Structure 1
Amino acid sequence: MPPPSLLIRPSTPADLPAITAIYGWNVLNGTGTFELEAPDEADMARRRDDVLAKGLPWLVAERDGQLLGYAYANHFRPRRAYRFCLEDSIYLSADAAGQGIGRLLLAELMAQCEARGARQMLAVIGDSANTASIAVHRALGFEASGLIKSAGWKFGRWLDVVLMQRELGLGDGTAPADAG
């Protein structure tokens, strides 16, 4: 019997309960996010709607009807000059770690962002001990671009923020089409 196939697809409103559960688990158990309280489904719906309203992707990874993770891109900062620079976010369910799902989500997210005209993708990784996220980003061509020491306090300890960056498409080699 062949192994179950993984589907990477755009998220839908029907995915929100699973997205909320995945993120909630990461908030309560991980250092990849510096949030301390898990948001409810309505808050996650608002966050997703905000990303989609900007024309940016919010993807999910699904296997046999079970959501295993999600990824989305958002503008690094809200000012218009940052519109070609996006930040990725990737979260997996507890039982999806170590299966390559994060890498597949990130690769598809990068491709979709590049197709939308993005020129830079940033990873703002919570916790310098988050070696899995750092390795996934490095494997897809991200390079270290900075470290913010002791930026957050969670689980009784200081956490660093690791900054990584990768050019998309033409990068900074040419002006974007709507540079005006």
Structure 2
Amino acid sequence: MLTVRPATSDDCEAVADIYRYYVENSTATFDLEAPSVAQWRTRLETTVAAGRPFLVAGAPGEVVGYAYLGVYRGKAGWSWTAEDSIYLRPEAAGRGTGKHLLRALIDAADPAVTRTIMAVVSEDVPESIALHTKVGFVEVGRTPGVGRKFDRWIGCVYLQYTIGA
């Protein structure tokens, strides 16, 4: 049975493993090096300290996906806007896990802390664009050729969700 719950420090090894796959094998992220487990623990701590959710999904004892609301643009004027990040183990894709996890992330967002959620999605990942659209995100822009990975230029699609709208 799939459950979604707040992540703990013990989940960071699975989170790091999931993300490493995408760093090494896809253009879903423009990271070229995967963060360490220690870096994921720091990200978890700073996310929770900022009053934002960091969730994991899976059956008891396993993690098949994670999602969190991170910093958007890093300037004080953007502090009520968050950028979502959601990744699943490849074998968990196409089973509704992403939709369940993203809805739970939105539900866990505190409107006193987060007004707007932005998704910055590689144009190479139409499944992620479709997922965000299914849960209510609206496309607000495209930036062609802004990222480079695997010796090619890749654009991004920007999608926006307003809490309480």
> TM-score if structure 1 supplies the norm length?
0.86
Match of 2:14 in 1: 18
Aligned counterpart for 1:92 among listed residues 76, 88, 91: 88
CA offset at residue 116 of structure 1? 4.4
Instruction: Give the partner amino acid of 2:24.
Output: L
Aligned mates of 1:166, 1:147 — CA distance in 2: 16
Larger Rg: 1
RMSD (Å), alpha carbons: 1.4
Worse-matched range after superposition: 21-30 or 112-121: 112-121
Match of 2:149 in 1: 154
> Which SS does the other structure have where 2:16 is aligned?
helix
The 5 A counterparts of 1:26-65 are 26-65=22-61
Is the Cα–Cα contact under 8 Å of residues 19 and 34 in structure 2 kept in the other structure? Answer: yes
Match of 1:131 in 2: 126
Query: Which ranges of structure 2 fall in alignment gaps of 5 or more residues?
Result: none
Runs of 4+ in structure 1 deviating by more than 3 angstroms, as ranges, are 114-117
Is the Cα–Cα contact under 8 Å of residues 82 and 114 in structure 2 kept in the other structure? Answer: yes
Aligned mates of 2:58, 2:85 — CA distance in 1: 17
Query: Which ranges of structure 1 fall in alignment gaps of 5 or more residues?
Result: 171-180
Distance 1:64-1:85 versus aligned 2 partners, 3 A rule: same
> Which SS does the other structure have where 2:69 is aligned?
strand
Is the Cα–Cα contact under 8 Å of residues 9 and 41 in structure 2 kept in the other structure? Answer: yes
Percent identity (aligned): 38
Aligned mates of 1:33, 1:106 — CA distance in 2: 17
Aligned counterpart for 1:66 among listed residues 62, 69, 72: 62
